[in-house]
Amino acid sequence: MPVTNSNLLNPDPFVMNEDEVNIAVANFLKKARFENVKYLSGNKTGIDVRGSKDEWAIFVESKGSQANKHEKTLVFDTNQIKTHTYMQVCKLMEYDNEQHSNAILAMANPDIPRIRQRVQKVKSSLEKLQLIQIWVQKDYSVIVEASNSQLSVLKRLNLV
């Protein structure tokens, strides 16, 4: 159920929907010189953001802190954030089964404490699954976090 942000014990510092996350990630990939960057908007299903560079392809599953159609005062409650995190992981695992070996799989979310705390609870599992984190900031810049084993490839692709 959506809740009013100001009614949360610790309100989110900013609100961002999935479309905004997708646009920020797509722009970041373009700046890193990825090609064929595509992103979904609205309620379309599929890979939220994708692109390719050299022999690598990136597949991103995004979520926002609110639904695309909500007013800026409404945000997802903690249970929805938990469910969305699990949905992201499962969707990326499905992509992993469908894609080639040089795939980078990423979760993209607004960088708000409630989502960071949820992701932190499964961080070691995400690292084992080789799922990188893309954190979209209030100004639409991004921070990429990954396991140490992924850093050399991500540096070569200008993602970190």
Calculate the dihedral angle through the C-alpha atoms of 5, 78, 46, 28, rounding to the nearest 10 degrees.
60
The string of DSSP codes covering 54-73 is TTEEEEEEE--SB-TTS-TT
Rg of the chain over CA atoms, in angstroms?
15
pLDDT of residue 18: 97
Q: In which residue ranges of the chain is pLDDT below 70?
A: 99-100
Domain ranges of the chain: 2-156
Q: Which CATH architecture has domain 2-156?
A: 3-Layer(aba) Sandwich (3.40)
Q: Which amino acid is at 2?
A: P
Predicted TM-score of the model (pTM): 0.95
Number of residues that this document lists for the chain: 160
DSSP assignment letter at 14: S
Q: Can you read off the two tokens belonging to residue 108?
A: 């993209």
Residue 100 has what pLDDT?
Answer: 67
